[in-house]
Structure 1
Amino acid sequence: MSDKKEPSVWEGFKAFLMRGNVVDLAVAVVIGAAFTNIVNAVVQGIINPLVGAIGTKDLDGYSYCLESPCSGSGSTATGIRIMWGSILGATLSFVITAAVVYFLMVLPMAKYLARQEARRKAKEGTQEVIEVSELEVLKEIRDTLVAQRASGHDRE
């Protein structure tokens, strides 16, 4: 029989929460939610007015009517309206978010990891050279000792 005790559900839950990747994921979700607000503000405050210089001030106002007459809004609307401006605004938000995440987070982290890997490989290469040179020195010592023993046996 085994004297090992099964971990309790509570201990397993604590171990799960204390794993680094769970905490990292929680931080990423919180930062992502805050970042979404910033991107939405940029789209609403800068992108929409720039697009509004060409047409309407709000991207949500861009639409196409499939079935006439398209009038009203919300529950009182008649006709079939395709709100392509909303899709354009959401797409712009996504592209801006993806660009900022890539250029400010992913790309610098990839460069950092590549530098770390290059340093590690350079360090390993230096260690290999040292190990090879040590091996050569040890071989020379062995050969010298063998030669000395051989010459010592020849004298006798």
Structure 2
Amino acid sequence: MSEKQPSVWEGFKTFLTRGNVIDLAVAVVIGAAFTNIVNSVVEGVVNPLVGAFGTQSLESYSSCLKGPCEGTGDSATGVRILWGSVLGATLSFLITAAVVYFLMVLPMSKYLARQAARKKAKEGAQEVVEITELEVLKEIRDALVAQRGSGHDRE
């Protein structure tokens, strides 16, 4: 006999209700919101620090590769390399990675390590208790056997 194939809708519902899909969706939403914070830090802190040594906008840093680089946008002539925008994106990435690591990953890994240590200590204590109870029961058994043995001698 043939097994009933799940419908497309049931498969889709199963896919959506998996934990990792929901976790991924939450991560994307938080990441999008976090982007605004990082952009504010870059625009409000990093760019002024760079501006102390040059211009406040990283976008204006460029080099001319070929020909006279005059004008901006579509009317520009020559070949211009906009390395300032790459530098800005790299700084944004590094700031994002640092904040995620130091504020989310590192505390979570320390928390999980503490939880694992507590669990291991609890399991170790439970084994000690079980061993101790077993030893006590053996001692009681040995004492009862010894009493029986001494009682048989009297009869």
Q: TM-score, normalised by structure 1?
A: 0.90
Aligned to 2:99: 100
Q: 2:32 aligns to what SS in structure 1?
A: helix
- Deviation per CA, 1:78-105: give whole Å up to 9, x if none: 2221111111111110111011101110
- Structure 1 residue 148: deviation in Å? 2.4
Q: 2:55 aligns to what SS in structure 1?
A: coil
Unaligned runs of 5+ in 1: none
Aligned to 2:25: 26
Q: 2:33 aligns to what SS in structure 1?
A: helix
| Structure 2 residue 6 is the aligned partner of structure 1 residue 7 | yes
**How far apart in 2 are the matches of 1:11 and 1:153?**
75
**How far apart in 1 are the matches of 2:153 and 2:76?**
114
**How far apart in 2 are the matches of 1:145 and 1:9?**
69
Percent pairwise identity: 78
Q: What is the RMSD of the two structures over their aligned residues, measured on CA atoms?
A: 1.7
| Structure 2 residue 129 is the aligned partner of structure 1 residue 133 | no
**How far apart in 2 are the matches of 1:152 and 1:76?**
114
Number of residue pairs matched? 155
Distance 1:12 1:155, change over 3 A: farther
**How far apart in 1 are the matches of 2:56 and 2:6?**
61
Q: 1:104 aligns to what SS in structure 2?
A: helix
Aligned to 1:88: 87
Q: Which moved more, 1:52-61 or 1:144-153?
A: 144-153
**How far apart in 2 are the matches of 1:19 and 1:152?**
68
**How far apart in 2 are the matches of 1:121 and 1:30?**
35
| Structure 2 residue 123 is the aligned partner of structure 1 residue 124 | yes
Q: 1:66 aligns to what SS in structure 2?
A: strand
- Deviation per CA, 1:34-83: give whole Å up to 9, x if none: 11122112212221122112111211111111212111122222222111
- Structure 1 residue 132: deviation in Å? 0.7
- Deviation per CA, 1:96-129: give whole Å up to 9, x if none: 1011101110011111111111111111111011
**How far apart in 1 are the matches of 2:148 and 2:24?**
67
